[in-house]
Amino acid sequence: MGETRENETQDVDLTAINTIRFLAVDMVEKANSGHPGAPLGQAPLAYLLWTRHMRHNPDDPDWPNRDRFVLSCGHASALLYALLHLAGYGLPMEELQRFRQWGSKTPGHPEHELTRGVETTTGPLGQGLGNAVGMAIAERLSAARFNRDGFPLLDYRIWVIASDGDLMEGVSHEVSSLAGHLRLSQLKVFYDDNHVSLDGPTDLSFSEDVEKRFQAYGWRVLHVDDVNDLAAMEAAIAAAEAETERPTLVRVRTVIGYGSPNKAGTSKAHGSPLGPEEVIATKKALGWPTEPTFLVPDAAHVPFDAARERGRKLEADWEALLRAYRAAHPEDAADFDRRLAGKLPDGWEASLPSFKPGDKPMATRAASGQVINAIAPHLPELVGGAADLASSNETLVKGVPNFTAANPAGHNFYFGVREHGMGSTLNGIALSRLWIPYGGTFLIFSDYMRPPIRLAALMKLQVIYVYTHDSIFLGEDGPTHQAVEQLAALRAIPNLTVIRPADAVETAEGWRVAVGHRHGPVAFALTRQALPILAETAEKAREGVPRGAYVLSDPADGPPQVILIATGSEVALALESAKKLAEEGIKARVVSMPSWELFAAQTREYQESVLPPGIRKRVAIEAASPMGWHKWVGSEGDFHGIDRFGASAPLKDLIREFGFTPEKVSERVKRLL
């Protein structure tokens, strides 16, 4: 009797696993595009996680204490869509049949927010793993903040499937090293060890001992020799689940294109459909009906429906816990509810420091540091740090503990010299919706973290980048460290807001904007060198910075002949240049433009009030690449910037040699006029 039931369970398991496999295969085949190989190999692992281990409720993909699932190898998206369909996330069969088509919920790679239940956007290999590390950090932070005796409000786990490509990517080294250091035990990673990547067998380029590598990071490391050995898989997953000290890596041996007589185990199963004949051969080999396609036998629903019932119960129990928590800890609960509702604390803006024109000149990085320190106590969700440049970036909140393995209640982060990993981790923290993370490094090294910046923008995540040393005017470190093309490169990313403040006042206003900007990342470009605090900004930045650009000064006598548009450290230069031009009888308006993106979002009326179409003589001044400035200066305008690499020299020499003086600017204006 017992044996019969066991056999029946095994039949159901196999039916469900093959259902996942062939939904994925049929999706790829119908789209004539995609990756069938990884889903064929990974299906048993994913099946066990989704039906037996993950605590999730498909009815409510936003349940705060749900386990997270990250398919870091986003190219295996068909696997995830099959799972979402079967698990009951409301992804209908028609969407599986529209895989990779215009307007479908099943794009080529999983996209967060587009498809219910997709926890993060993956596809660029390595990023999912980095996000998962951030999610595990957020879990620790949140548990430390909200859990109380008898109220384990947050204790979710992060389950990841990562492929060879994920582990080859440099970012995986950064984040896995960090995860081991921080002992993020809620993180459970399954490495799909199938010996194949796109170009062929992995031994073309990848031969380290992955288990030893992760052991060296301080992870718990396990392995399973055959993903189809469900008992062995169960044991490994249970061991990963029981681990409470370290992150876990389970190396799972799978076969890419499992079941395909002619393509299994080769890169031919990787990035293109199996082809009609091979699909039939594969279905036959695994004992699956060749018709109809997109077959879901009733039996396949059984384990998923049971998991869904369990999930409903888990969330209902958690809701009861939350109700009791609200009664026992009303203030904590109010903070929790407020954050999840996407609201900022009342009155936080009152804590913004005010800087005055009489104050000593100050680097905008220093002003930013003062702002962070002033607002942090009033904005408990603000957490962050730097990639080993906290002292330069002024990202440290004084008197607040560091986030460490021993003290996850700390809010200051040491990401180490890992810009890429920091960026990817910040995205994972932001995905919790309970924290607003920031991270700092030199502007030049935004290049080292561009992939996660782009993904933050794509996912509309609130992440704040605190970049300093924003131009050649950092001085003696020289051209390797002097940003020239980075502003243009960042401005090219859709949905990223770049803010380059002119002084301390604009910096504080920039932070007001950044904290209030809930649906996309913001990057600050801040100076190393001190800048005067301008009388004009003190008066106008409060209104002007949120609008991206505003008139700082106009000629006293009549309409301007020319507009000087400047950002950051060049705004003071523009004001001086306008004075010099006035002495020579030339009337210039000065516009401060801390953010192109904010200005571009204004009404045409406002834009034309700042840059009247009738004034076609315009000179933009920015110590950076000219790329893109024609948008604002027009075809009759000119640009005073830099179109070469910088140089190693003291600040005053760079100012002279690169011509950032009122004399040089007014010469250019006169040439233009």
Q: Which of residues 367-426 bind ligand TPP (CB under 6 A)?
A: none
Three-state DSSP state, 71 = strand
CB closer to ligand TPP, 51 vs 72: 72
d(CA 444, CA 461): 22
Cα distance from N-terminal residue to C-terminal residue, the chain = 96
CB of 193 to ligand TPP, least distance (A): 9
Which residue of 24, 38, 141, 352 would you call a contact of ligand TPP, by CB under 6 A?
38
- Please state whether the peptide bond connecting residue 61 to the residue before it is cis, i.e. omega within 30 degrees of 0: no
CB closer to ligand TPP, 258 vs 318: 258
CB closer to ligand TPP, 75 vs 500: 75
CB closer to ligand TPP, 223 vs 312: 223
CB of 258 to ligand TPP, least distance (A): 11
Q: Answer yes or no: are the C-beta atoms of 404 and 411 closer than 8 Å.
A: no
d(CA 39, CA 56): 21
CB closer to ligand TPP, 31 vs 498: 31
Cα atoms found within 13 Å of the Cα of residue 299, Cβ hemisphere only: 12
d(CA 472, CA 643): 12
CB of 229 to ligand TPP, least distance (A): 19
Q: Answer yes or no: are the C-beta atoms of 36 and 78 closer than 8 Å.
A: yes
DSSP β-bridge partners for residue 590: 553, 564
Which residue of 24, 27, 40, 125 would you call a contact of ligand TPP, by CB under 6 A?
125
CB closer to ligand TPP, 168 vs 615: 168
* Annotated catalytic residue within 419, 506, 509, 597: 419
- Choices 119-127, 295-303, 550-558, 583-591 (CB under 6 A): range interacting with ligand TPP: 119-127
- Choices 188-196, 211-219, 354-362, 571-579 (CB under 6 A): range interacting with ligand TPP: 188-196
CB of 166 to ligand TPP, least distance (A): 6
- Choices 159-167, 480-488, 499-507, 606-614 (CB under 6 A): range interacting with ligand TPP: 159-167
Which residue of 53, 270, 365, 547 would you call a contact of ligand TPP, by CB under 6 A?
270
Interhelix angle 504-516/535-544, nearest 10 degrees: 10
CB closer to ligand TPP, 35 vs 56: 35
The count of chain residues that interact with ligand TPP, using the rule CB under 6 A, is: 19
Q: Which of residues 48-77 bind ligand TPP (CB under 6 A)?
A: 73, 75
d(CA 379, CA 382): 6
- Site for ligand TPP contains 124 (CB under 6 A): yes
Q: Which of residues 189-208 bind ligand TPP (CB under 6 A)?
A: 192, 194, 196-198
Q: Answer yes or no: are the C-beta atoms of 250 and 189 closer than 8 Å.
A: yes
d(CA 600, CA 131): 30
DSSP 450: H
Which residue of 17, 256, 578, 620 would you call a contact of ligand TPP, by CB under 6 A?
256
Look-up: residue for tokens 């390797």? Answer: 480
Residue 465 is encoded by which pair of tokens? 């980048």
The closest of 495, 502, 538 to 518, measured between CA atoms, is: 495
- Choices 123-131, 310-318, 392-400, 441-449 (CB under 6 A): range interacting with ligand TPP: 123-131
- Choices 121-129, 226-234, 321-329, 614-622 (CB under 6 A): range interacting with ligand TPP: 121-129
- Site for ligand TPP contains 164 (CB under 6 A): yes
d(CA 352, CA 349): 5
- Choices 33-41, 110-118, 391-399, 511-519 (CB under 6 A): range interacting with ligand TPP: 33-41
CB closer to ligand TPP, 123 vs 548: 123
CB of 270 to ligand TPP, least distance (A): 4
Which residue of 110, 165, 510, 546 would you call a contact of ligand TPP, by CB under 6 A?
165
Give catalytic status of residue 419 as yes or no.
yes
CB of 175 to ligand TPP, least distance (A): 14
d(CA 503, CA 525): 11
Which residue of 34, 44, 58, 123 would you call a contact of ligand TPP, by CB under 6 A?
123
CB of 315 to ligand TPP, least distance (A): 33
CB of 195 to ligand TPP, least distance (A): 8
- Choices 162-170, 330-338, 464-472, 629-637 (CB under 6 A): range interacting with ligand TPP: 162-170
Integer-rounded Cα radius of gyration of the chain: 28
CB closer to ligand TPP, 36 vs 384: 36
Contacts (Cβ under 8 Å, ≥6 apart) of 661: 573, 655
CB of 76 to ligand TPP, least distance (A): 6
CB closer to ligand TPP, 108 vs 384: 108
Q: 421-443 b/e with 16+ CB inside 10 Å = b?
A: bbbbbbbbbbbbbbbbbbbbbbb
Q: Answer yes or no: are the C-beta atoms of 352 and 508 closer than 8 Å.
A: yes
Contacts (Cβ under 8 Å, ≥6 apart) of 362: 355, 503, 504, 530, 531, 533
Q: Answer yes or no: are the C-beta atoms of 58 and 308 closer than 8 Å.
A: yes
Residue 416 is encoded by which pair of tokens? 């180490």
Q: Answer yes or no: are the C-beta atoms of 188 and 250 closer than 8 Å.
A: yes
DSSP 50: I
Residue nearest to ligand TPP (CB): 165
Q: Which residues does the annotation mark as catalytic? A: 419
**Footprint of ligand TPP (CB under 6 A):** 35, 37-38, 73, 75, 123-125, 163-165, 169, 192, 194, 196-198, 256, 270
